[in-house]
Amino acid sequence: MHNEEMINTIKDKTEISKKLKERAIYEGFSLAGIASIPGSSRLKLRTNALERWLSNNHHAEMKWMEAERRKNVNSLLEGAKSILSVGFTYINSQKNNNRFKIGKFSQGEDYHKVIYKKLKNVGKWINLEIPDCKWKICVDTSPLLEKAWAEESGLGWIGKNSNLISKKNGSWFTLGFIILTKDLIPDKPHQSLCGKCDLCIESCPTKAIIEPFVIQSDLCIAYHTIENREKTIPKKIEENLNGWVAGCDICQDVCPWNKSVPYNNTFETTPKKWIKNLGIDSLNWDDKTWEDNLKGTTLKRIKPWMWKRNIRANLRNN
């Protein structure tokens, strides 16, 4: 290839990479970045960290975390060369001062569906602008090292509480990805900015962050209120619920990077009315009432009997 052709190719790649990220922002994402596959050496470090976490059984009953495909992007899309990473801000200015607390990520519409729909629109744009490019959407449920690829794409860094943190948006966002068969210009991987701050580690009432970046799931309030399928919650967790019935935001609430972040006040993030009014009377709701309320949210993962278990556990330790 002649120098001139090479310059034109780089120009084209730079232009299309810039346009792709702009399109993602246009569709309603607050963050967008690109990584090249196979990525830098830090991907290997993140894969090793996942291996250690799994071998120590810190994932508790979340067996899907063991999927081998998680370590190989090409198993998701043959010929994969780039990844577009996006962040969808879910924090809304409407405050919920209810007795029973629910994680902010789940108070509005189901973010899986919201992100998928927006990425589908980006995909339609790719079909027009890069017609020879195959692509695949990944949202949360796909076996992908999500936070590692988002960090690689420059969206933010993995904090000591294991959440991805952005300088501008804090950690109040969920991730989505499009894997592409097109070679694009990658963004610079983000450096960690946690420094010496240990507020998240110190503030966790059950000491679930057993060392920086490592969460022991069976000590985590969010794990027990959302994933634990046992009839009872362990005593140590129950004593520290302090109102949490679905998820837990403590390690994000105390994070200095979350002090002043832009809200996303769209219908997609607006807390459901029943969430803002959740009270003891919900113990008398039948399954149909629960199902109607949970419809269209990520909270349907928590079965009606689990909601009642979580609420009763809070009442016992009030």
- Return the active site residues: 140
Contacts of 276 (CB under 8 A, 6+ apart): 94, 96, 98
- The DSSP letter of residue 185 is P
First to last CA, the chain: 72
Count CB neighbours of 82 within 10 A.
Answer: 24
- Judge whether 112 and 205 are in contact, CB under 8 Å: no
- Judge whether 144 and 64 are in contact, CB under 8 Å: no
- The DSSP letter of residue 265 is -
Question: Hey, what amino acid is at 37?
Answer: I
CA distances from 85 to 82, 137, 180 (A): 10, 10, 11
Question: Hey, what amino acid is at 202?
Answer: E
Contacts of 288 (CB under 8 A, 6+ apart): none
Query: Residue 257: which of 152, 166, 151 has the closest Cα?
Result: 166
- Rounded Cα–Cα distance for residues 138 and 176 (Å): 6
- Rounded Cα–Cα distance for residues 308 and 285 (Å): 9
Beta bridge partners of 215: 209
CA distances from 136 to 17, 120, 229 (A): 17, 9, 32
Which residue carries 């519409």 as its tokens?
A: 109
Query: Residue 31: which of 177, 135, 131, 159 has the closest Cα?
Result: 177
> Which 3 state secondary structure label does DSSP give 62?
coil
